[in-house]
Amino acid sequence: MGKIIDGKAIATALQERLKEQVAYFAMTVGRKPKLAVIMVGEDPASAIYVRNKIRACEAVGVTSEAYKLAESTEPAYLENLIRKLNADNSVDGILVQLPLPLGFNAKKIIPLIDPKKDVDGFSQMNIGSLLLDDKKGLYSCTPLGIMQLILSTGVDLTGKHAVVVGRSNEVGKPVALMLLQHNATVTICHSKTKDLGEFTRTADVLVVAVGQKKLIKGDMVKDGAVVIDVGINCDENGKLCGDVDFESVEPKASFITPVPGGVGPMTIAMLMANTLKAAKGNVQ
Ligand code: NDP
C-alpha cells in the first residue's frame, strides 16, 4: 500500500515554525515582513489563490498589501506600481498573480520586479541563481515545496532516478534542477517525449506537472516509487484531481501526494518562507 504524503500537515508545521521566525524578525528588526500581492482582472481561480496567500500572511504574521487592478488597467500603470514597490524599503516581497489578462505580457512584467523582492522566484536572475546553486537567490515556491515533500519521506536522492514530467519554467525545469542538486539522476519528459511510460516506469521518484487529468496510470509507475502529483484539474464530476490516476498508482507507490492536500498547501508555505528570506535580505 502506498503511503500518503500529507502536504497539508507538513505545510501547517512549516508555517508554525515560520510564525516563530517571523515574530523573532519583528522583535529584532522592529517591523514585520511585508508582502505586496498584485492581481489584475477577475479570474476566479486567481482570486482564490490570492485570498489563500493573504490568509497565510495573516497566519504567520506577515503584513500583506493587496493591489487589485481592473482588467482595463494600462500595462504602464502596473509597471509603475512595480517600480514604486521596488523602491519602497518597507516592502520585502512583490508577487504578481499569474496568469495576467490578455494585453499584459508577463515576460515583460515579471523581470521588472527587483530580484531581491521576487518571492515567486520567476525572474531571470533568480532562475540563474538556482542554476548556479547560489543559495542567496529566491527559488520558485512550488518546486521548493515539492522538494520538502520528497525529503519528508526520508528517501536519499543520491543516485536515484528522478523523472520529471513537464518542463515549465515555473515547475518542471526548476524542480529538475533541485533534484539534480540533491544528486539524483534526472530525466525531463514533455509533450514531445515518445513513449512516456518507458521513462516513468524507471523512476524512483516521479514528479508530474503537466495539467492533464489522471495522465499517469498505475502501469506507468515502478513498484515503490515516490510519486509527487503537482497537477490541479477537474475530473468528469467536477471534483479536483491531479495529473496522476491516484486509484491505480497509489497501491504501487511507496509514497504519494494526494490532490488536493499535497503540493498546493506547500506552495503557499514556501511563499511565506521566501518572504521571510527576502525580508532578512532587505535589512542587511
Ligand atoms: P504548463 O502548462 O506550463 O506546462 C505543462 C508541461 O507539461 C509542458 O512542459 C508540456 O510539454 C507538458 N505536457 C503536456 N502534455 C503532456 C503529455 N501528454 N505528456 C508529457 N508532457 C506533457 O503547466 P505548469 O507546469 O504551470 O503546471 C502543471 C500543472 O500543475 C497544472 O495542472 C497546474 O495547475 C499545476 N500547478 C499546481 C501548483 C500547485 O501549487 N499545486 C502550482 C503550479 C502549477 P511541452 O513543454 O512540450 O508543451
Confirm or reject: Cβ of 196 under 6 Å from ligand 1. yes
Q: Which atom of ligand 1 is nearest to the CA of 210?
A: 7
Confirm or reject: Cβ of 142 under 6 Å from ligand 1. yes
Other Cβ atoms closer than 10 A to 6: 17
CA 58 – ligand 1 centroid, Å: 30
The three grid cell numbers given for residue 279, joined into one nine-digit string: 525580508
Average pLDDT over residues 219-240: 96
Asked if the model's pLDDT at residue 1 lies above 90, the reply is: no
Task: Single out the residue of 201, 199, 214, 119 nearest to residue 167, CA to CA.
Answer: 199
Asked if the model's pLDDT at residue 233 lies above 90, the reply is: yes
92-141 confidence digits (pLDDT tens):
999 999 999 999 999 999 999 999 999 999 999 999 999 999 999 999 99
Outline where DSSP puts E strands in the chain. Answer: 3-4, 34-40, 63-69, 93-96, 161-165, 185-189, 205-208, 226-229, 233-234, 240-241, 255-256
CA 278 – ligand 1 centroid, Å: 27
Per-residue confidence (pLDDT) for residue 2, from 0 to 100:
52
2-22 confidence digits (pLDDT tens):
599 999 999 999 999 999 999
Q: What is the CB-side half-sphere exposure of residue 184 using CA atoms within 13 A? A: 26
Confirm or reject: Cβ of 46 under 6 Å from ligand 1. no
**In testing the pocket of ligand 1, which one of 230, 234, 241 has its CB within 8 Å of the most ligand atoms?**
230
CA 193 – ligand 1 centroid, Å: 14
d(CA 246, CA 31): 44
Confirm or reject: Cβ of 193 under 6 Å from ligand 1. yes
33-88 confidence digits (pLDDT tens):
999 999 999 999 999 999 999 999 999 999 999 999 999 999 999 999 999 999 99
140-186 confidence digits (pLDDT tens):
999 999 999 999 999 999 999 999 999 999 999 999 999 999 999 99
Per-residue confidence (pLDDT) for residue 259, from 0 to 100:
97
Q: Return the CA Rg of the chain.
A: 19
Q: Which atom of ligand 1 is nearest to the CA of 262?
A: 41
Q: For residue 262, what is the DSSP state?
A: S
Sketch out the chain's domains with CATH numbers. Answer: 29-115 (3.40.50.10860), 141-264 (3.40.50.720)
d(CA 276, CA 32): 9
Confirm or reject: Cβ of 86 under 6 Å from ligand 1. no
Q: Which atom of ligand 1 is nearest to the CA of 167?
A: 9
Of 34, 97, 118, 243, which one is the catalytic site residue? 97
DSSP 3-state assignment of 21?
helix
Of 32, 34, 53, 252, which one is the catalytic site residue? 53
Say how many residues make up the chain.
Answer: 284
d(CA 128, CA 123): 9
The answer to whether 53 is a known catalytic residue is yes
CA 120 – ligand 1 centroid, Å: 17
Of 114, 120, 229, 245, which one is the catalytic site residue? 120
Asked if the model's pLDDT at residue 284 lies above 80, the reply is: no
d(CA 230, CA 220): 17
